[in-house]
Amino acid sequence: MSIIDKALEANRNYAKSYDPALGKRPAPKIAVVTCMDPRLSDLPDILGLPHADLDVIRTGGPAVTEDVLGELVVSTRVLGTTEIMLLNHTGCGFTTFTDDELNAKLTALTGDASPAPMRFFSYKNPEENTREQIKKVRSHPWIAKEVAVRGFVFDVNTGLLTEVHRVSQDAAA
Ligand SMILES: [Zn+2]
């Protein structure tokens, strides 16, 4: 049985005890932008916040794309979140290749270059990635100045978050 078929079977059981109150309009308090990596999936435990408080936006990396910026505008202006957390992590798969390398590899593998150059938003350094994200989000004219924007790196070996400041401590020293 495929994983999806198993999931569909489990869903029928889930729905039997589903609380219809969960279907009411969501009122998340914080937007979290994080990687698609499964190690970042348990955000209520990682952050000690209930599911209902979290508006989670996930991309590979994570990459703060135009789409993500649009989602953050909706999250803060329509859904009412008041803080934005940019959550990067160590050991990210997107640091293991460059966009050029993956484009070349997939072109060779499939014999089809038509999607290239595809943007995968690979990167090398999670702190630097976080700093660029903070700059990008903070400078967006539709994200209110009152909305807190803070960036962090989750260490997959310790489970600890380290805050990344907009200006690197080395540069400031
Ligand atoms: Zn990742």
CA of 97 to the centre of ligand 1 (A): 12
pLDDT computed for residue 142 by the predictor:
98
pLDDT greater than 70 at residue 170: no
CB 62 within 8 A of CB 34: yes
Distance (angstroms) between ligand 1 centre and the Cα of 94 equals 6
- For residue 10, the number of C-alpha atoms closer than 13 Å in the C-beta half-sphere is 7
The pLDDT, as a whole number, for residue 166 is 76
Structure confidence at residue 171 (pLDDT) = 59
Structure tokens at 70: 């649009």
Ligand 1 center to residue 100 CA distance, Å? 18
Give me 1's structure tokens: 């049985």
The first and second tokens of residue 112, run together, are 């089809």
Pairwise CA distance, residues 137 & 58, whole Å: 15
Other beta carbons within 10 Å of 94: 24
Q: Which residues pair with 83 in a beta bridge?
A: 30, 148
Find residue 152's DSSP bridge partners.
87, 163
Q: Specify the higher pLDDT residue, 169 or 102.
A: 102
Amino acid making up residue 117: P
What pTM, to 2 d.p., does this model score? 0.92
Dihedral over Cα of 146, 81, 92, 114: its sign: negative
Q: Check whether 168 has a pLDDT greater than 80.
A: no
Tell me the CA–centroid distance for residue 6 and ligand 1, in Å. Answer: 26
Q: What is the whole-number distance in angstroms between the Cα of residue 37 and the centre of ligand 1? A: 5
Task: Give the model confidence (pLDDT) of 33-87 as tens digits.
Answer: 999 999 999 999 999 999 999 999 999 999 999 999 999 999 999 999 999 999 9
pLDDT of residue 167: 73
Q: How far apart are CA 62 and CA 35, in angstroms?
A: 4
